[in-house]
Amino acid sequence: MRQMLIFIVMLVGLTCVRAQPTGDVPMPVMAGDTADRVIVYVGPSGRQGAQGTREDPVASFTPAMERLKERTTSRTGSVACTLVLLPGRYRLTEPYIQFSGDHSVTGPAGTRMLQVSFVGEGNVTLDASGITVPAGHGVVTPSGSGIEICNIRIVHSSEFGIRLGTASRRATNVRLVNVEVDSTFSHGILLGDAASPLSDTTALIGCRITNTNLMNVGGST
């Protein structure tokens, strides 16, 4: 009898591991190839007036967005961009919240939509213990579509770790790869709502969430 119970437990375990989501769920579609993206570099020892190159990285998100806007003035339509985070521990002075004016930008060539990805190089930790994240937002709150957040660790958020989109603007077709969120007051990663259409696909690959305060599915904790 004991051997039979062990076999049943093993069988159930194997069934869970092999289970696949039902329906035709697409993988996220990126806004552009990595090589085609407009890139600005951010570094833990960067400076505020920097050019945003690898050799002269900016120190925080506000000047990083200013550099992206400067480098895309001749573009229109959807523009794939990346903030490359150089290795180190960032003791943040501000969160990254991509409001409407940082996503839909109007310039001499017309309106452009900045689809901003975050890619960490090496060991990157965003430490939010020294700031207060605005209610309902994450340490990283991107908008837009076809973006990725890769190879970063977020710790000590007074709100969310990552929120995909804001209350008025969705973030769709998002790929999160090797993202770790540890110690948040609310959700580690807020993806959206249960009624999201398949076009809102979010893929989490190799992600880890620990020490979060809330986890809601379908409205229940």
Q: For the segment 160-172, what is each residue's pLDDT rounded down to a tens digit?
A: 999 998 777 778 8
Tens of pLDDT along 59-85?
Answer: 999 999 999 999 999 999 999 999 999
H or E stretch at 69: helix 61-71
Tens of pLDDT along 87-123?
Answer: 999 999 999 999 888 989 998 889 999 999 999 999 9
Q: Which residue has the tokens 């809601």?
A: 216
Q: What pLDDT does 99 receive?
A: 87
- Between CA 221 and CA 188 the distance in angstroms is 14
Sorting pLDDT into bands at 50, 70 and 90, what band is 4? very low
Entry pTM: 0.83
Lowest pLDDT segment from 129-138, 176-185, 194-203: 194-203
Nearest-CA neighbor of 155 among 92, 62, 85, 87? 92
Sorting pLDDT into bands at 50, 70 and 90, what band is 210? very high
On average, the pLDDT of the chain sits at: 84
- Between CA 17 and CA 174 the distance in angstroms is 24
Q: What pLDDT does 165 receive?
A: 83
Per-residue pLDDT at 182 exceeds 70:
yes
Sorting pLDDT into bands at 50, 70 and 90, what band is 128? very high
- Between CA 103 and CA 113 the distance in angstroms is 5
Q: What pLDDT does 198 receive?
A: 64
Tell me what percent of the residues of the chain surpass a pLDDT of 70. Answer: 79
- Between CA 221 and CA 207 the distance in angstroms is 21
Q: Are 101 and 66 in contact (CB under 8 A)?
A: no
**131 φ/ψ angles, rounded to the nearest 5 degrees:** -130, 165
More confident residue, 23 or 36: 36
- Between CA 147 and CA 135 the distance in angstroms is 23
